[in-house]
């Protein structure tokens, strides 16, 4: 349930400019910033491209499932 709630928060972002910030907030909320850094979750240029939103959401979903078992 936690994973789905976090994904819902991310997908409900209206403005793509806020997408990165909202995604990082969800990671920080669970204290997973260091794990995200180790896995280079936020280093891709895809975070700048609105067309990559679905791909990024799936990447976030896999990351959260892995770390919130």
User: What are the structure tokens assigned to 24, written together?
Assistant: 């990082």
11-48 tens-digit pLDDT: 999 899 999 999 999 999 999 999 999 999 999 899 99
Contacts of 16 (CB under 8 A, 6+ apart): 50, 53
How confident is the model over 40-66, as a mean pLDDT? 95
- The answer to whether residue 1 scores a pLDDT higher than 90 is no
The per-residue pLDDT for 39 is 96
- The answer to whether residue 69 scores a pLDDT higher than 80 is no
- The answer to whether residue 4 scores a pLDDT higher than 90 is yes
The per-residue pLDDT for 31 is 97
User: What are the structure tokens assigned to 55, written together?
Assistant: 């791909």
Q: Could you state, in order of their start, the residue ranges of all structural domains in the chain?
A: 2-67
């Amino acid at each position: 349930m936690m994973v789905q709630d976090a994904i819902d928060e991310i997908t409900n972002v209206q403005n793509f400019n806020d997408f990165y910030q909202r995604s990082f907030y969800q990671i920080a909320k669970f204290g997973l910033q260091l794990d995200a850094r180790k896995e280079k979750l936020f280093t891709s240029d895809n975070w700048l491209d609105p067309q990559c939103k679905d791909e990024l959401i799936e990447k976030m979903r896999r990351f959260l499932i892995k770390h919130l078992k």
